[in-house]
Amino acid sequence: MNIEKARHSLAHVLAEAVQRLFPDAKLGMGPAIENGFYYDFDTEEKISSEDLKKIQKEMKKILKKKNTEFEYIEVSIEEAISMFSEKKEHLKLELIEDLKAQGEEKLGIFKQGNWFDLCRGPHVEKMKDLPFKGFKLDRVAGAYWKSDEKNKMLTRIYGLAFEDADKLNDFIEKREEARKRDHRKLGKELEIFAFSDLVGKGLPLLLPKGATLRRVLERFIVDEELRRGYEHVITPVLGKVDLYKVSGHWDHYKDSMYNPIDIEGEEFVLRPMTCPHHFEIYKNNQHSYNDLPRRFAEISSLFRFEKSGELSGLIRLRNFTLADAHIICTQQQMKKEFKDVLILLKYIMDSLGISEKVWYRASLRDDEKGKYVDNDEMWEQSEKVLLEILDELGWKYEISRGDAAFYGPKLDIQIQNVNGKDDTIITNQIDLFLAERFQLEYIDSDGEKKRPVIIHRSSVGCLERTMAFLIEHYAGALPLWLSPVQIRLLSIADRMNDYVEEVYEKLQSRGIRVEKDIRNEKLGKKIREARLMRIPYLAIVGQTEMDNKTLTIRNRNTGEQKEYSLDEFIDRIILEENKKSLELEL
RNA sequence: GCCGUCGUAGCUCAGUAGGUAGAGCGCAUCCUUGGUAAGGAUGAGGUCACCGGUUCAAUCCCGGUCGAUGGCUCCA
């Protein structure tokens, strides 16, 4: 079975079924997609998810006429117009006009019985070629006509479709499994973060364990950056509107910024970016070419306006924390600097254990006017350099037009979330534009003032988003070095409490993240609860351990246990942490 | 923001074809001091998201608001 054809054909069957049940529904577009198909309808009568069963039944009725053919005919533009006028299919008529404008003369129509649709195909031959039990209507959603927010919202019905019932059920099961790793679910269960209606949506509260995870990432990256010649700075979350007028954000990025705040007659905004602040740091003094590159880094709290429907757990927020930096260097240094950034990123991905999961995307501009700064020469040059660097490193990447920043092309690192959607985890840009806007300069060897170039880059990305992906990637079972709690001490009976306390203090004093459970409960219960919290190592303390001054260590992943002297355990734990091992080694 | 769905105890959820609610976990107290995924008993805890409307009566029906969620748009 050609599943693509089947999915596309099922979309037509769906459309016919909907029009039988909702005669006023007009046709939009209905393609095959990954895992299934959809069809968009313009309808006054509301179609709700309650109606899906009914529609699916109607589809099965159509499918039962097994010998109905999908018949292809070619018609002239005029014939097509008259056919769809008769059915009052205004959206199809609009498509016909578009095709006409593109110079098409003949149009394809697919007929199934008396019902027909404008379509170039391909389709299966007959109804009996479709998987009667391999499809299922999935959900109702809204979708803008021609994907444009300014257009009318249509009702889209999504269906899943596979070769047979087994494959369909397999997919549904896998999807449910994946959702168990959802960082929003695990974040709650593992006490990582919460939201409060009173604080506001998109504004996360990091609970103690979440704050710990963030601090671990933060310390990791700050230390690493300092080792690699970055200078960490701290700048305010507010800045004058004028600052963003100079940077061009006010023109190109205003829709993503919050309304200005009036302070004694001056207008301030919450910052969506740190770049302008860092440029002002650069301008604090004069620079010689000998001083470049300067690499200003900051763990920066940013505020971006997201429409309420776009918010999603820790992945899309209104306030988040970017591990940000701006490298200001000469033209000649740019390539090396950008390569060094990529090498750092590779190291980070390796350390976090997600190298295998991410892919690279070169985001270039498209031809949409007004979206980017108007300077063709600059764009051509920076896009060329970006691709050169990637080719020189030999990294595989895909090109995405239209995803560039307004001031330059990006190299994005992409990752897939638990719902199968792609997100950017890290982004870097080459910027030949803002140095001019901010009048950044350095004195070159010939004594002349020159413009530096700027690399915008992130390292561990947005801490909150990165945390979300780590939680999903590891299903909550983080490696030791990232775990908010590394060890939990489990006592067997009250008389061990003093020894537990002694061990607890000793581990804590060595910087190990430790918890103790000395409740009056059975060991089995304590183990169960600690396992649900995905704690890497459980240290069981009973009479034997107390007498021998040891701990029995139970490994989260294997369930195996070994007895260690306290000192040996501490040494080995610290070793494992320092190695940033992705496996539990004890 | 828009279209669909959802909102009952701290958490996970049941329930009422309209007569002001229930379980398990958690919490408190007590018994138990138990060696590898839930020991037992008792008890506290809810303006059924919020605001209006219909009704003798609303957690349930209707309208609005807020929040969450699957899409669309957007995006780190």
According to the 3-state scheme, what is the secondary structure of A202-253? CCCEECHHHHHHHHHHHHHHHHHHHHCCCEECCCCCEEEHHHHHHHCHHHHC
Residue A478 included in any domain: no
CA distance A408 to A434: 9
Do A151 and A206 lie in a common domain?
Answer: no
Q: DSSP letter at A501?
A: H
Residues 258-287 of A, Cβ under 7 A from nucleic strand B:
none
Residue ranges making up the domain that contains A573: 487-579
CA distance A160 to A230: 49
Give phi and psi for A464, each to the nearest 5: -65, -45
Q: Which two tokens stand for residue A433?
A: 């534009």
Residue A584 included in any domain: no
The closest alpha carbon to A413, from A373, A354, A369, belongs to A354
CA distance A416 to A137: 24
Residue A479 included in any domain: no
Residues 42-61 of A, Cβ under 7 A from nucleic strand B:
46-50
Q: Which of A473, A497, A528 is the last residue of a domain?
A: A473
Q: Are strands A442-443 and A153-161 parallel, antiparallel or unpaired?
A: unpaired
CA distance A235 to A258: 19
Residues 368-407 of A, Cβ under 7 A from nucleic strand B:
403, 405
A215 C-beta less than 7 Å away from strand B = no
Q: Which of A473, A496, A519 is the last residue of a domain?
A: A473
A318 C-beta less than 7 Å away from strand B = yes
Residue A188 included in any domain: no
C-beta atoms surrounding A183 within 10 Å: 27
A320 C-beta less than 7 Å away from strand B = yes
Give phi and psi for A486, each to the nearest 5: -95, -35
- Please report the DSSP string for A325-346 in residue order: EEEEE-HHHHHHHHHHHHHHHH
CATH label of the domain that carries residue A329: 3.30.930.10
Residue in the block written with tokens 């080694």: A585
Number of structural domains (chain A) is: 3
Provide, in whole angstroms, the distance separating residue A309's CA from nucleotide B13's C1'.
26
CA distance A24 to A47: 11
Do A326 and A444 lie in a common domain?
Answer: yes
According to DSSP, the residues that pair with A456 across neighbouring strands are A326, A429
By C1' distance from the Cα of A203, the closest nucleotide is B67
A203 C-beta less than 7 Å away from strand B = no
Residue in the block written with tokens 């496996």: A583
CA distance A268 to A385: 36
According to DSSP, the residues that pair with A438 across neighbouring strands are none
CA distance A336 to A388: 12
Residues 404-423 of A, Cβ under 7 A from nucleic strand B:
405, 412, 419-421, 423
The closest alpha carbon to A232, from A165, A292, A299, A177, belongs to A299
**At A153, which amino acid appears?**
M
A183 C-beta less than 7 Å away from strand B = no
Report the binding-site residues of A.
275, 326, 456
C-beta atoms surrounding A515 within 10 Å: 18
Q: Which two tokens stand for residue A182?
A: 């959802």
Question: Which residues are CB-neighbours of A446 under 8 A, at least 6 positions away?
Answer: none
Protein-contacted bases of chain B (C-beta within 7 A): 1-5, 11-12, 26, 31-39, 66-76
By C1' distance from the Cα of A554, the closest nucleotide is B36
Residues 347-366 of A, Cβ under 7 A from nucleic strand B:
none
Residue A289 included in any domain: yes
CATH label of the domain that carries residue A568: 3.40.50.800
A196 C-beta less than 7 Å away from strand B = no
Question: Which residues are CB-neighbours of A112 under 8 A, at least 6 positions away?
Answer: A12, A13, A16, A62, A68, A69, A70, A71, A127
By C1' distance from the Cα of A47, the closest nucleotide is B4
For helices A3-21 and A52-64, angle between their N-to-C axes, nearest 10 degrees: 110
Residue in the block written with tokens 């990006």: A410
By C1' distance from the Cα of A314, the closest nucleotide is B76
A532 C-beta less than 7 Å away from strand B = yes
A188 C-beta less than 7 Å away from strand B = yes
Do A104 and A38 lie in a common domain?
Answer: yes
A141 C-beta less than 7 Å away from strand B = yes
- The tens place of each residue's pLDDT in chain A, 586 residues long, gives 789 999 999 999 999 999 999 998 999 999 999 999 999 999 988 888 888 988 999 999 999 988 888 989 899 999 999 999 988 999 999 999 998 888 888 889 998 998 999 988 789 998 999 999 999 999 999 999 999 999 999 999 999 999 999 999 999 999 988 889 999 999 999 999 999 988 999 999 999 999 999 999 999 999 999 999 999 999 999 999 999 999 988 988 889 999 999 999 999 999 999 999 999 999 999 999 999 999 999 999 999 999 999 999 999 999 999 999 999 999 999 999 999 999 999 999 999 999 999 999 999 988 887 788 888 888 888 899 899 988 888 888 999 988 888 889 999 999 988 888 889 999 999 998 999 999 999 999 999 999 999 999 999 999 999 999 999 999 999 999 999 999 999 999 999 999 999 999 999 999 999 999 999 999 999 999 999 999 999 999 999 999 999 999 999 999 999 999 999 999 999 999 999 999 999 9
CA distance A499 to A511: 19
CA distance A260 to A553: 55
First to last CA, chain A: 50
CA distance A490 to A519: 9
CA distance A309 to A302: 19
Do A163 and A221 lie in a common domain?
Answer: no
Do A177 and A205 lie in a common domain?
Answer: no
The pTM (predicted TM-score) of the whole model is 0.93
Helix, strand, coil in percent for chain A, rounding step 5: 40, 25, 30
Which residue is nearest nucleotide B50, judged by alpha carbon to C1' distance? A197
A152 C-beta less than 7 Å away from strand B = no
Q: DSSP letter at A266?
A: E
Residue A444 included in any domain: yes
Residues 412-471 of A, Cβ under 7 A from nucleic strand B:
412, 419-421, 423-427, 461-462, 464-465
Report the C-alpha dihedral over residues A260, A263, A265, A270, rounded to 10 degrees: -20
Do A270 and A397 lie in a common domain?
Answer: yes
Q: Which of A181, A215, A248 is the last residue of a domain?
A: A181
CATH label of the domain that carries residue A45: 3.30.980.10
Instruction: Please tell me the predicted confidence (pLDDT) of residue A244.
Output: 94
- Report which secondary-structure segment, H or E, holds A569: helix A566-579
